[in-house]
Chains A and B, each alone.
Chain A
């Protein structure tokens, strides 16, 4: 991220939201909302004095509520730029008009409570979607795991924050309830993944590997500890993946093939009841900590952005690639590319690969003066078109615009509106040809006459 921020050709816009996208491949117009930070980042040196002195603490979003952050803060240690912003919702100055400690002590006078949101227009030739993922809300679906009532039932991401050496616990794995070191840790995989009844039908792909890593960390960091992993399948297709999993097993991680039916609190222990389907027996494990590998789901708000940009989504809300095997980086909308988990659950190496692919696709597109487009696209017969523009409403690619033409009727020039196809945007889906009552919209290579001739022959 630092390298991206420093690159002369890259304009990094943080704390921004895309609010509108118009135009098409090569000619996008993007409206970006710069949310007010209340800190002038030109003046700010990132010295951190304001954060230190801020008197208000709220639960940290980045640490998933395990720890607190100040109201003038940097979201996470490696954030770029390394300069703070003010959380106006919780800031004492914004709530009561009193305080302003940060403003008083800032040595460069960078605090600006009057900052307003700004809207920025940018012209771009291509867009890469990289909206990432969120975790499945297991506590709304899995009552058998306690609906989040037990403090020591956490998600893999919580565990990740704890095992991070620069995190709040300094890399020490603890029980959130009492801060003690857990001796027996149960991991449950596929929480929300591959569960059509309660969650999603798909595999979240990254969980098998990170759970193996977490189990390894428990065994490695906590002396005399036990790690139990309840699993449905162990899926490790990747370079050196299965070797890593084997190593974790050999270190002593106990893999139990079966689902957990119930977790309940007994004293300060969590009793985990489940099945071992290989032994054909019920098993009960007394655990100090339970870590759930929850499913990846599309990030909140990604559906709104998809509508704005004109990106199709699949039935699970992930962005739809143009072809599952041959065009996994492109979308059906020209000039729109995909990178990472917004397209489907994936791990870091896959994300980096896809993002690199997307970047190269954009570069390849920009390197040409002219775009090669599919010839099988819609053509409007202006003589038949009445200008009702029903076709415009059904076009998923925003490829139809209205156009005013001049005709000579009875010797006089008359102006009227007709539909017009943007040949760069049309993908030849045929929606408009079906919708057009006059039969003015016709797909080249698949004209109404051609299709009907085929039907006639078939029905003969």
Chain B
């Protein structure tokens, strides 16, 4: 399995653990992630507020480079990058006029031959037996609340790989890793995303709702597939506690970190020691 890999901006900063755990897990699974050379910003949440064309052009540039690599599938761990790439891909393949306009802007020829998959889909569609075979330390005592956030599975006409209201891909992966995936209510609620940076007062209320639901479901930890979700739920947990008087100590993991743990990869290699909320409690559960 070869993928043209789009790291996205957070991978060298706030999402470092995601990066290291992704590569570690991919190696175990025999996935080859080839970084797209000279990749640039996906447009994130800023571009579409400014211009519809800019919003397609930014990711389209990366798609054009990826297409030249001769690999059919593109993947990225970040939910927002995935959304941007998948959205641009759909517009570029469906509408010839848009494609021609955007190719002129980027100065690169994207023909529209690629398939964009999120990392959750890429790993989640691997033969379950193959994944199971790599599990050497099943997470038997771990109860996880799989949190997908808003961009990974919606809108379905762009994403289309999992149920938009009750997604199961991460749950199923966690089950394969031996953990108990809980049925809980806030799988796809918004974490506040960039409001965590620009308007924390609003964001803490949104983060609080998710953490509250996770605690009520009896989860030991929350598992995510997006650097921004992780940042908000992990880093801002402190702000929620401070502003709303709560006492959350809920570890938040990337799904690749937990898969990595189950595969016997060392916590250091996965980056588990650089979380804001203490992960020790869960790590001791896993042993």
Contact across chains for A147 and B166 when beta carbons are under 8 A apart: yes
B157-174, CB < 8 A from A: 163-166
- 1/0 per position for A226-268, CB-CB distance to B under 8 A? 0000000000000000000000000000000000001011100
**Dominant secondary structure at the A interface:** strand
A179-218, CB < 8 A from B: none
A265 to B163 CA separation, bound complex (whole angstroms): 19
Contact across chains for B185 and A147 when beta carbons are under 8 A apart: no
Q: Within 8 Å CB of A266, what residues of B?
A: 185, 216
**Considering only CB atoms, which chain B residue lies closest to A264 in the complex?**
B185
The one of B166, B186, B189, B216 that contacts A143, using a Cβ cutoff of 8 Å: B166
A143 to B165 CA separation, bound complex (whole angstroms): 5
A142 to B166 CA separation, bound complex (whole angstroms): 10
A32 to B185 CA separation, bound complex (whole angstroms): 51
Q: Within 8 Å CB of A144, what residues of B?
A: 165
How close is A32's CB to chain B, nearest CB, in angstroms?
44
A358 to B90 CA separation, bound complex (whole angstroms): 51
For chain B, give the interface size range.
under 10
Q: Within 8 Å CB of A264, what residues of B?
A: 185-186, 213
Q: Within 8 Å CB of B165, what residues of A?
A: 142-144, 147
Q: Within 8 Å CB of B189, what residues of A?
A: 262
Contact across chains for A143 and B164 when beta carbons are under 8 A apart: yes
**Considering only CB atoms, which chain A residue lies closest to B186 in the complex?**
A264
Q: Within 8 Å CB of A147, what residues of B?
A: 165-166
How close is B26's CB to chain A, nearest CB, in angstroms?
31
The one of B164, B166, B185 that contacts A265, using a Cβ cutoff of 8 Å: B185
Q: Within 8 Å CB of B163, what residues of A?
A: 143
**Considering only CB atoms, which chain B residue lies closest to A145 in the complex?**
B165
**Considering only CB atoms, which chain A residue lies closest to B216 in the complex?**
A266
**Considering only CB atoms, which chain A residue lies closest to B183 in the complex?**
A149
How close is A53's CB to chain B, nearest CB, in angstroms?
42
A104 to B43 CA separation, bound complex (whole angstroms): 78
A143 to B153 CA separation, bound complex (whole angstroms): 13
B181-225, CB < 8 A from A: 185-186, 189, 213, 216
Q: Within 8 Å CB of B166, what residues of A?
A: 143, 147
A307 to B226 CA separation, bound complex (whole angstroms): 52
Q: Within 8 Å CB of B186, what residues of A?
A: 264
B135-174, CB < 8 A from A: 163-166
**Considering only CB atoms, which chain A residue lies closest to B155 in the complex?**
A197
A266 to B214 CA separation, bound complex (whole angstroms): 12
A264 to B164 CA separation, bound complex (whole angstroms): 15
A271 to B189 CA separation, bound complex (whole angstroms): 14
Q: Within 8 Å CB of A262, what residues of B?
A: 185, 189
A265 to B189 CA separation, bound complex (whole angstroms): 15
A144 to B188 CA separation, bound complex (whole angstroms): 10
Q: Within 8 Å CB of B213, what residues of A?
A: 264
How close is B214's CB to chain A, nearest CB, in angstroms?
13
**Considering only CB atoms, which chain B residue lies closest to A142 in the complex?**
B165
How close is A261's CB to chain B, nearest CB, in angstroms?
10
B77-134, CB < 8 A from A: none
Q: Among B163, B165, B166, which residue has the most Cβ atoms of chain A within 10 A?
A: B165
A139-190, CB < 8 A from B: 142-144, 147
A142 to B165 CA separation, bound complex (whole angstroms): 8
Binding site for A on B (CB under 8 A): 163-166, 185-186, 189, 213, 216
Other A-B pairs, 8, CB within 8 Å; known A143-B164, A266-B216: A142-B165, A143-B163, A144-B165, A147-B165, A262-B185, A264-B185, A264-B186, A271-B185
Offer 16 A-B interface pairs, CB within 8 angstroms, sorted by A. Answer: A142-B165, A143-B163, A143-B164, A143-B165, A143-B166, A144-B165, A147-B165, A147-B166, A262-B185, A262-B189, A264-B185, A264-B213, A265-B185, A266-B185, A266-B216, A271-B185
6 shortest interchain CB distances as A-B pairs: A143-B165, A264-B185, A144-B165, A143-B166, A143-B163, A143-B164
